[in-house]
Chains A and B, each alone.
Chain A
Amino acid sequence: MLHALAELSSAASTAASAALPPSFGPIPTILFYAFALITVLAAFSVALARNIVRAAVALLFALAGVSGLYFMLNAEFLAAVQLVVYVGGTLILMIFGVMLTTKTANSVYDAKRLEVIWALAVAILLAVPLAWLMLSVRWHSAGSASAIAAQQIAASTQPYPIEQLGIALLDPAAYLVPFELASVVLLAVMIGAAYLAKSRKLPTVAQSLGKSPSVLRNTRDHHGIEFAAETHPAPLPDSTLQGKPGASGRGTE
């Protein structure tokens, strides 16, 4: 009887320890609320900022907050990728775009009142039913922390999630084809973006070089570097250089 009781209590204690998430008290909850608050506040200040540079800085905090939420969801690799690619890459690209496309970095494009009303109407009409739906649905494992805890305990004995991610990405039966396609897409995008961003006015300017000096001056203001590179005098043909004393030195300069 006693033995059975002890067994029962030990079973209950192991069940209780399994039901508790392997965490440190209220810290994950506090961290979640901190990251969620940062993310949501920053996202709405992106929407409400009148200055585009301020919007970019707010977007930085929103993306970093999402990265923190990924950490809370045990997706460490994804959180790091989010920080490196989004915060370190895409956002910097956007800030460069802002600086290249504004004569003064602080230009303000105010929204019309009608647009603001439309935006609020659409956002509320979409967000309120969605929020109601997500709070009212009883999700598969949402209520039971024990399932998540059991999963976390199982995950702690398994190979690291990063290893699992790498294996899945290079497994022909899983995600190898999309992975390789993504690299092709990135290559195509790199070439396409470089082609698109190149100014097309340059060849016509180079053709009209001898015609009007005012055109030359205007274009030099906008595209100084490219223009200078394009209009270097053509190097002398080799035949004219041969036999002259400075010919060999010119090549090594």
Chain B
Amino acid sequence: MTITLAHYLLVSVLLLAAGIITMIVKRNAIGILMGVELILNAGALNLVAFNAFGAAAHPATGAPAPLDGQIFTLFVIVIAAAEAAVALAIFLNFYNNFSSIDVEKATNLKG
């Protein structure tokens, strides 16, 4: 049995579901960040899978298959690292002010 594109997409769907459950269930802000990372990985896996299965070498010129999906994923990884750094800095500040990382306590702006 060969592995098709649908197999990778199914893994990606399950990663997305796990990420969404993580984001909703966790009350620790860093746990929510982990859910975001899972969802980003699901999207990146989609991009790479579509690139690997969808792109082909040019039939006439023999130019190699384009790697746009991989390059997009590279940028996704860069942005995810940047996002994690800023989010953790914000959480550290939050912890310094509230002595807690529970997102339920971030209610200062609540009317």
Contact = CB atoms under 8 A, between A and B. Distances in A.
Interface of A: 21, 28-29, 32, 36, 39-40, 43-44, 46-48, 52, 55-56, 59, 62-63, 66, 69-70, 72-75, 77-78, 81-82, 85-86, 89-90, 93-94, 96-98, 100-102, 109-111, 115-116, 118-120, 122-124, 126-127, 130-131, 134-135, 139-143, 145, 147-148, 150-151, 154-155, 158-159, 161, 164-165, 168-169, 175, 178, 182, 185-186, 189-190, 192-197, 199-201
A129 B74 CA distance: 28
Contact of B21 (A28, A110, A123): A123
Classify the secondary structure of B's interface with A.
Answer: helix
B92 to A, nearest CB: 5
A155 B78 contact: no
Given A43-B14, A127-B13, A62 B65 contact: no
B11 to A, nearest CB: 5
B8 A73 contact: yes
Q: How large is the interface on B (under 10, 10 to 19, 20 to 34, 35 or more residues)?
A: 35 or more
Q: Which 4 A-B pairs have the closest CB atoms?
A: A43-B18, A119-B24, A196-B89, A154-B57
Contact of B53 (A36, A111, A142): A142
A52 B77 contact: no
Interface of B: 1-11, 13-22, 24-31, 33-35, 37-38, 41, 44-45, 48-49, 51-57, 62, 64-65, 67-68, 70-71, 73-75, 77-82, 84-86, 88-93, 95-96, 101-102
A184 to B, nearest CB: 11
B71 A165 contact: yes
A117 to B, nearest CB: 10
Nearest to A119: B24
A59 B2 CA distance: 28
A139 B53 contact: yes
B86 to A, nearest CB: 5
Contacts of B18: 40, 43-44, 46-47, 62, 123
Contacts of A52: 26, 28, 30-31
Contacts of A159: 64
A21 B26 CA distance: 43
